[in-house]
Amino acid sequence: MNYRGPYRVRTVQKPMPEILHPEDAIIRVTRSCICGSDLHLYHGMVPDTRVGSTFGHEFTGVVEEVGPMVQKLKVGDHVLVPFNVACGKCNFCKQGLFGNCHESNTMATAVGGIFGYSHTAGGFDGGQAEYVRVPYADVGPTVIPPDMDPDDAVLLTDVVPTGYQAAEMGGIKEGDTVVVFGAGPIGIMAARCAWFFGPSRVIIIDHVDYRLEFAKNYAKCEAYNFKDMEDPVVFLKKATDWYGADVCIDCVGCEAEGNTLQTFSGRVMLMQAGAATAFQWAVNSVKKGGIVSVVGVYGPPFNLAPIGNIVNKGITIRANQASVKRLLPKLIDHVQSGRLNPKGLITHRIPLEEISDAYRLFSSKLDNCIKTVLIPSTKH
Ligand SMILES: [Zn+2]
Ligand SMILES: [Zn+2]
């Protein structure tokens, strides 16, 4: 796939990727997904998204070729590849902060490298392709257990770890009320994973009815449409005896709908990096001393954050890109034991060649789309 500018992607024949560093591998892609965060790229919201680049940070594939320094991966291994590009050796990787690797994206001080996520995230071509170059091949790529469905495996590259980490960062305690903003795949997974921590209620808020319906069934949670409410903050206060939720999780990010000031200043005037509406709601509807966990994607420059309320309520904000590699052993176990069913999120399978239709379908929320898997025609 090839980015041609906002709202324009198409398939083109690009040169075969090559080993550029002795620790690289070339992977023949068997599955790749379109992520909600790819829509921020598609809509032209992410700085330095260059024409000609290939998106895709959620993919599985078969190792085609390895560089001379690669020791663990073998040609023919079927692997899932975490969305983070991480060196495995720097100070941050050593702490398990694989999303904040210091080496894989030396132009940035915040985020590490991410496959197919603009030059802001290192300029790596992604996996919505037939072949992809994977740096630090001994660090990220993980052999798919033989009894695991590749559809489950591809969702372990981002959706499951990001949803799980969103819940984990919320510090959910027994009996808590958890509110998740955003019923995209990540929000639905966060709501599902929240139950691992023993809350008494999990509530999800969105404005797309079919997604709320899906979330209610998949994550066994309460689901409400904010378009039906005068004010979601008042609604949530009322629902929690006026205390506020114990934990709020923002799985929306910078393209939130629903608040005129935020939308106008962020998405129309571009005075801030998108509209931080979901984050505002999270801060305003969490209880005093509560925790707000953020995994929604925001652009780096700046957003209008309600700092007064954060200070006066004594809120803890926890946020990060998921550290996929750190979480994988636990999450593979959850999938193998049947406690998690990631592939249940997949609603569409589309040939890679039809990429522009696939983006349009997902971006416009047509055909009750939750999660799309792209299948390259070279698949085996
Ligand atoms: Zn993703
Ligand atoms: Zn590193």
Task: Give the C-alpha separation, 357 to 157, whole Å.
Answer: 23
Task: Say whether pLDDT at 369 is over 70.
Answer: yes
Q: Which residues have CB under 8 Å from 261's CB, separation 6+?
A: none
Give residue 366's pLDDT band: very low, low, confident or very high (50, 70, 90): confident
Ligand with the closest atom to the CA of 34: 1
Task: Give the C-alpha separation, 82 to 60, whole Å.
Answer: 9
Give residue 268's pLDDT band: very low, low, confident or very high (50, 70, 90): low
User: What would the pLDDT profile of 155-191 be if each residue is shown by its tens digit?
Assistant: 999 999 999 999 999 999 999 999 999 999 999 999 9
pLDDT for 296 equals 81
Q: Which residues surround ligand 2, an ion (CB under 5 A)?
A: 86-87, 90, 93, 101, 103
Whole-number Å distance, alpha carbon 159 to ligand 1 midpoint, is 6
pLDDT for 378 equals 66
CA dist list (Å): 257 to 11, 34, 112, 182, 206: 30, 21, 28, 10, 9
Closest to 326 measured CA to CA, from 165, 159, 192: 165
Number of Cβ within a 10 Å radius of residue 54: 21
Chain centre to alpha carbon of residue 38: 9
Ligand with the closest atom to the CA of 251: 1
User: What would the pLDDT profile of 271-307 be if each residue is shown by its tens digit?
Assistant: 555 567 889 999 999 999 999 999 987 766 666 778 8
Q: Annotate 179-240 with DSSP letters as a single string.
A: EEE--SHHHHHHHHHHGGG--SEEEEEES-HHHHHHHHHHH--EEEEGGGSS-HHHHHHHHT
Beta bridge partners of 31: 60
Backbone angles phi, psi at 61, to 5 degrees: -175, 175
pLDDT for 305 equals 79
Average pLDDT over residues 252-273: 60
Beta bridge partners of 113: 85
Residue 294 is classified by DSSP as E
Ligand with the closest atom to the CA of 92: 2
Q: Assign 14 to helix, strand or coil.
A: coil
Would you say 361 and 38 are in contact if contact means Cβ atoms under 8 Å apart? no
Q: Which residues have CB under 8 Å from 57's CB, separation 6+?
A: 35, 37, 38, 83, 114, 115, 116, 117, 126, 127, 157, 158
Whole-number Å distance, alpha carbon 41 to ligand 1 midpoint, is 12
| Structural tokens at position 378 | 């070279």
Range 15-19, long-range pairs (CB < 8 A, 24+ positions): 16/131, 17/125, 17/131, 17/132, 17/133, 18/133, 19/65, 19/66, 19/67, 19/133
pLDDT for 110 equals 73
pLDDT for 242 equals 96
Ligand with the closest atom to the CA of 90: 2
The secondary structure element, H or E, covering residue 40 is: helix 36-42
pLDDT for 379 equals 47
Percent of the chain with pLDDT over 70: 92
The secondary structure element, H or E, covering residue 63 is: strand 59-66
